[in-house]
Amino acid sequence: MTEKTIAKSALLMAVVVIASIVGYESYLRGQGMQISYDDGSPLWTNQRKEANKAENAVVFVGSSRIKYDLDLATWEAQTGMKAIQLAHVGSNPVPMIEDLANDPNFKGNLVIDVTEPLFFSNVPFLMEKPTSSIKYFHEETLAQQASFEINKVVESQLVFLDKENYALNAKLDRLMIPNREGVFGMPIFPTEFGLTTFDRQTYMTDRFVQDSTQVNVVRNIWGLLMSAKMGPPMTQAQFDGIMQNVKVSVDKIKARGGKVIFVRTPSSGPFYQGECMGFPRQKFWDKLLKVTGCEGIHFTDDPELAKLQCPEFSHLDRSDAVKYTIGLASILQQKQWIPAQKRLLSNLY
Structural domain boundaries of the chain?
1-31, 41-348
Q: In whole angstroms, how far apart are CA 167 and each of 25, 154, 189?
A: 12, 15, 15
| pLDDT at 227 (0 to 100) | 73
- CA-nearest of 52, 58, 54, 133 to 92 is 133
pTM: 0.85
The CATH architecture of the domain made up of 41-348 is 3-Layer(aba) Sandwich (3.40)
Which helix (H) or strand (E) segment holds residue 120: the answer is: none
Instruction: Note the pLDDT of residue 92.
Output: 96
Using alpha carbons, list the distances in angstroms from residue 210 to 151, 218, 312: 32, 13, 11
> Are 85 and 47 contacting, i.e. CB atoms less than 8 angstroms apart?
yes
Burial annotation 65-92 (CB, 10 A radius, 16+ → b, else e): bbbbbbbbebbebbbebbbbbbbbbebb
Contact 119, 160 (CB under 8 A): no
For residue 44, the model assigns a pLDDT of 96
Distance CA 250, CA 258 (A): 9
Closest CA to 35 of 164, 227, 219: 164
The pLDDT value recorded for residue 60 is: 98
pLDDT of residue 348: 47
For the chain, 349 residues long, the average pLDDT of each consecutive 10-residue run is 64 63 57 73 94 88 97 95 95 96 93 96 92 96 87 64 58 54 65 90 94 94 77 82 95 94 97 93 96 97 96 97 97 91 53
Nearest to 61 by CA among 136, 125, 134, 135: 134
pLDDT recorded at residue 11: 65
